[in-house]
Amino acid sequence: MNEQLKTDPTKPAQRMRAGGMTLSLAPWIIAAVAMMALPMIFTNNSALTIMNQMSITIIFALAYNMLLGQGGMLSFGHAVYAGVGGFFCMHLMNMSDFFATIPLPILPLFGGLFGMGLALIVGSFSTRSAGTVFAMISLGVGELIAASSVIVVAFFGGEEGISGDRTYAQPFFGVEFLQQIEVYYLTAAWVIISAALMYLWSRTPVGRMANAVRDNPERAEFLGYSARWVRYYSFVASGFFAGVSGGLFAINYEILTEENLNAASSGIILLVTFLGGVGFFFGPIIGAVVFTLVQTVLSLQTELWAFYAGCLFVATVMFFPGGLAGLIMMHVPAVKLGKWKLLIMPYIKTLIPAAIGILGLCALVEMTFHYRHGATGDNEMTLFWTTFDSHTLMPWLIAAAVTVIGIGIARMTAPSLKEAWDEANTMGGAS
Amino acid sequence: MDLILVNLIDGLVTGLLLFMLSAGLTLIFSMMGVLNFAHASFYMLGAYFAYSISLALGFWMGLLIAPLIVGVAGAMVERYGLRRVHQYGHVPELIFTFGLALLIEELVQFIWGKNQMPYDVPDILNFTAFAISGNSIPAYKIFMIFISVGIFIGLLYVLTKTRVGMIIQAALSYPRTVEALGHNVPLIFMGVFGVGTALAGVAGVIAGPVLGTFPGMAFVLGSIVFVTIVIGGLGSLWGALVASLLIGWITTFAKSYNIEMESILNGIGIATPENMDDNMFRDFWSLTSPQIADILPYILMVLILIFRPAGLFGKRTQ
């Protein structure tokens, strides 16, 4: 009992309980196996491209979440670190003498180091405080570097950007990375390594202190930790992994332009991370996967994909601030109580009509768009595998009826879903 | 000398336009403590609404009605969106307004399309007011100056001299006390948000014909408005005015005088390197002031945040 009194009160906390450094292996092995197996299921090249894009976004989003989710720092210019890391890798690729001596798989490391270097400089003044001041400095620095990409042609290559050729690297066990599939495995390996490192980082004392500083900087200071330095470490580490993702981008696309740095890219990564959920480590992974799918698959179907993505984002912020990961984790208590089966039927009753209603609403939106902006004389449009004339009344009536009925049923069944939800989350009672 | 006068007028127009946006933004910030990323989007909505109204009823009705619609839309956003997100904390609020800005841009593209709208200066103001040694000053610019100055004086009067203004000021600092005295504080917040966005709407209506009415117009001005209120000091109306004018003049002067980095460096005694093509800093040497005019505000903001985080007129919090 007296043991606590023996610690020296003049010194800061001497030992802290940060969750063990051990890694629960199961999810990682599953992820690694899944990433190995995916190219065997989706063999065509466009699927590989999407998966590469997804992997790069996953690393970037996880790096971003080190700031936003774990450190409570909202950055509006994080694309800069990824972009600058990528540009640096591209310059390395173009230094043929040096590039011929290094194997390609370690190239992202250089991108990471360069991104980290930039973060070391910027972080030295931007992490002094969190919140609005940090957000504004990140916005200002982001805009500055994005704007200078057009001015500093020697490094950023002006408007056309810079390009290179990844195959000039030293062959890596005979692999020259000529094919997409080889690049995929390189990217996949980096995803697993970076994600594992970032997870381990979040378990170290520094990672834990980042959470403490996010929640209550004043209290963390009273415990003897400098909130500023804790933020600085998170920022630098995040810059490193952002740079890694930039390096992978350089390997994948072999070209980098101003688009990799600008505010739009920074905005997208915020969107991805928040959509996935900032509260959990795996949130950004879900966000990256979902967003890349929306971006690539939905944009083939409709011109309005950005509009839907915007609606989804605003709805997430308003109704599910935990994001998709939060939505999934909401069900943990019900599963633990063994009552999750109670939820299946109400979910079917409410969510399926709601989904149909939303699809009807989308049809109305698409028809309005076609009606207003379609070429004159071109009244035919194809929607959900049916072709019809958007200037006649019938399709409008059908779409409106589907919307009203779908959402109406969802509204009617919503109270019983709520009841089932409460029941599933209460201990005891009949199961 | 004449050119200086012309640039002074141009900078004044830009600065006052910025001020109309930043005034609303800074009021909203001091009230709710949240930076409204969608503020410039309301400016864009103002321009688009005014264009649509001007097709049917003419420019002047547009100037009158469009800001009202924008203000009501802003109040609705506060009532049904922001107030809901408020419970989750500041960062989600900031992210919400950011998402709203994206959504409004997409919405505008959805309704009006991606092209620039032919929204023009009304005929009655489409003449040259006066000329300074060959540089003509359009009457519309003078009109813009008068509108902005009028709004500034009106705002200052309402905030400092009327009872409503006093309640608002009190609600900014002591919302709970004001509520205890029987005033409906959430309603005041909603009202201020509505008025702030309506001001942005006015700015959009009068800027639309000169700066162009296109879906990217919010993005062009959006981040500059933030920079303005950060430089001026968050929450300070006077700071917003000074910073707006400062930015207006700096960018205008940087654009019209072609100052080269080479001559500055030579001036402070650094010789131009011999073979420029191999030099690492060749882009740095060939910099000119029009090139960097648009990023000067950002440089200024970063410097201000480093050396005087509270801004020019802001109160020190720590």
A72 and B298 within 8 Å at the Cβ level: the answer is no
Q: How confident is the model at residue B279 (pLDDT cuts 50, 70, 90)?
A: low
Q: How confident is the model at residue A428, as a pLDDT?
A: 61
pLDDT one-digit tens code per residue, A31-48: 888 888 887 787 788 888
pLDDT one-digit tens code per residue, B32-73: 777 888 899 999 999 999 999 988 888 888 888 999 999 999
pLDDT one-digit tens code per residue, B218-274: 888 888 888 888 888 877 788 888 999 999 998 888 888 777 777 777 777 777 766
Q: How confident is the model at residue A50, as a pLDDT?
A: 87
Per-residue three-class SS string for A29-75: HHHHHHHHHHHHHCCCHHHHHHHHHHHHHHHHHHHHHHHHHHHCCCC
Q: How confident is the model at residue B49, as a pLDDT?
A: 92
With 90 as the cut, is the pLDDT of residue A60 above it? yes
Paired tokens of A139:
């916005």
Query: Of A157, A155, A153, A177, whose CA–CA distance to A165 is shortest?
Result: A177
pLDDT higher at A270 or A430: A270
Mean local confidence (pLDDT), B155-174: 86
Query: Of A157, A80, A69, whose CA–CA distance to A122 is shortest?
Result: A80
Query: Of A177, A166, A190, whose CA–CA distance to A62 is shortest?
Result: A190
Q: How confident is the model at residue A377, as a pLDDT?
A: 64
Mean local confidence (pLDDT), B112-124: 81
| Residue B134, SS3 per DSSP | coil
Per-residue three-class SS string for chain A: CHHHHHCCCCCCCCCCCCCCCCCCHHHHHHHHHHHHHHHHHCCCHHHHHHHHHHHHHHHHHHHHHHHHHHHCCCCCCCHHHHHHHHHHHHHHHHCHHHHCCCEHHHHHHHHHHHHHHHHHHHHHHHCCCCHHHHHHHHHHHHHHHHHHHHHCHHHHCHHHCEECCHHHCECECCECCCCHHHHHHHHHHHHHHHHHHHHHHHHCHHHHHHHHHHHCHHHHHHCCCCHHHHHHHHHHHHHHHHHHHHHHHHHHHCEECHHHCCHHHHHHHHHHHHHHCCCCCCHHHHHHHHHHHHHHHHHHHCCCHHHHHHHHHHHHHHHCCCHHHHHHHCCHHHHHCCCCHHHHHHHHHHHHHHHHHHHHHHHHHHHHHHHHHCCCCCCEEEECCEEEECCCHHHHHHHHHHHHHHHHHHHHHHHHHHHHHHHHCCCCCCC
Mean local confidence (pLDDT), A7-15: 46
For residue A318, list chain B residues with Cβ-Cβ distance below 8 A. 81, 84-85, 96
pLDDT one-digit tens code per residue, B76-106: 998 888 888 888 877 788 888 888 988 998 8
**Who's near A6: CB < 8 A, 6+ residues apart?**
none
Q: How confident is the model at residue A159 (pLDDT cuts 50, 70, 90)?
A: confident
For residue B295, list chain A residues with Cβ-Cβ distance below 8 A. 143-144, 147-148
With 80 as the cut, is the pLDDT of residue A318 above it? yes
pLDDT higher at A100 or A85: A85
CA B291 to chain A, closest CA, distance in angstroms equals: 7
CA A361 to chain B, closest CA, distance in angstroms equals: 15
A63-77, A119-133, B303-317, range with the lowest pLDDT: B303-317
A154 and B283 within 8 Å at the Cβ level: the answer is yes
Mean local confidence (pLDDT), A279-307: 85
Nearest to B85 among A135, A136, A318 (CB): A318
Q: Specify the residue for token string 């969750």.
A: A19
With 50 as the cut, is the pLDDT of residue A1 above it? no
ipTM of the complex: 0.80
B106 and A304 within 8 Å at the Cβ level: the answer is yes
**Who's near A372: CB < 8 A, 6+ residues apart?**
B111, B113
B81 and A373 within 8 Å at the Cβ level: the answer is no
Q: How confident is the model at residue A5 (pLDDT cuts 50, 70, 90)?
A: very low
pLDDT one-digit tens code per residue, B229-244: 888 887 778 888 899 9
Q: How confident is the model at residue B239, as a pLDDT?
A: 87
Nearest to A143 among B107, B280, B298 (CB): B298
Q: How confident is the model at residue A4, as a pLDDT?
A: 40
Q: How confident is the model at residue A414, as a pLDDT?
A: 77
With 60 as the cut, is the pLDDT of residue A8 above it? no
Nearest to A140 among B84, B227, B283 (CB): B227
Q: How confident is the model at residue A378, as a pLDDT?
A: 66
CA B199 to chain A, closest CA, distance in angstroms equals: 23
With 60 as the cut, is the pLDDT of residue B318 above it? no
Mean local confidence (pLDDT), A316-324: 84
With 60 as the cut, is the pLDDT of residue A210 above it? yes
Nearest CA in chain A to B82: A318
Q: How confident is the model at residue A2, as a pLDDT?
A: 39
Looking at domain A25-329, its CATH architecture is: Orthogonal Bundle (1.10)
A145-154, A234-243, B267-276, range with the lowest pLDDT: B267-276
Query: Domain ranges in chain A?
Result: 25-329, 336-424
pLDDT one-digit tens code per residue, A93-149: 888 778 778 888 888 899 999 999 999 999 888 888 777 778 888 888 888 888 888
Compute CA distances B263 → A62, B149, B268, whole Å: 46, 39, 9
Mean local confidence (pLDDT), B17-42: 86
| Percent residues over pLDDT 90 in chain A | 16
For residue A274, list chain B residues with Cβ-Cβ distance below 8 A. 95
pLDDT higher at A266 or A386: A266
pLDDT one-digit tens code per residue, A161-207: 888 888 777 777 777 777 888 888 889 999 999 999 999 898 888 88
Q: How confident is the model at residue A59, as a pLDDT?
A: 93
Mean local confidence (pLDDT), A420-425: 76
With 80 as the cut, is the pLDDT of residue A233 above it? yes
Q: How confident is the model at residue B280, as a pLDDT?
A: 64
What CA–CA distance (Å, rounded) separates A41 from B272? 61
pLDDT higher at B289 or A232: A232
pLDDT one-digit tens code per residue, B283-305: 677 777 777 788 888 888 888 88
Chain A contacts to B (CB-CB under 8 A): 68, 72, 74, 125, 128-129, 131-133, 135-137, 139-141, 143-144, 147-148, 151-155, 263, 267, 270-271, 274, 304, 306-307, 310-311, 313-314, 317-318, 321, 365, 369, 372-373
Beta-strand pair A386-389/A380-383: antiparallel
**Who's near A153: CB < 8 A, 6+ residues apart?**
B283
Q: How confident is the model at residue A424, as a pLDDT?
A: 75
With 60 as the cut, is the pLDDT of residue A429 above it? no
Arithmetic mean of pLDDT over chain A: 81
For residue B103, list chain A residues with Cβ-Cβ distance below 8 A. 307, 310-311, 313-314
By the 8 A CB rule, do B199 and B68 touch?
no
Nearest to B230 among A136, A270, A321 (CB): A136
Q: How confident is the model at residue A3, as a pLDDT?
A: 38
A209-218, A239-248, A271-280, A378-387, range with the lowest pLDDT: A378-387
Q: How confident is the model at residue A387, as a pLDDT?
A: 73
CA A247 to chain B, closest CA, distance in angstroms equals: 23
Mean local confidence (pLDDT), B153-159: 87
| Residue B138, SS3 per DSSP | strand
For residue A317, list chain B residues with Cβ-Cβ distance below 8 A. 85, 92, 95-96, 99
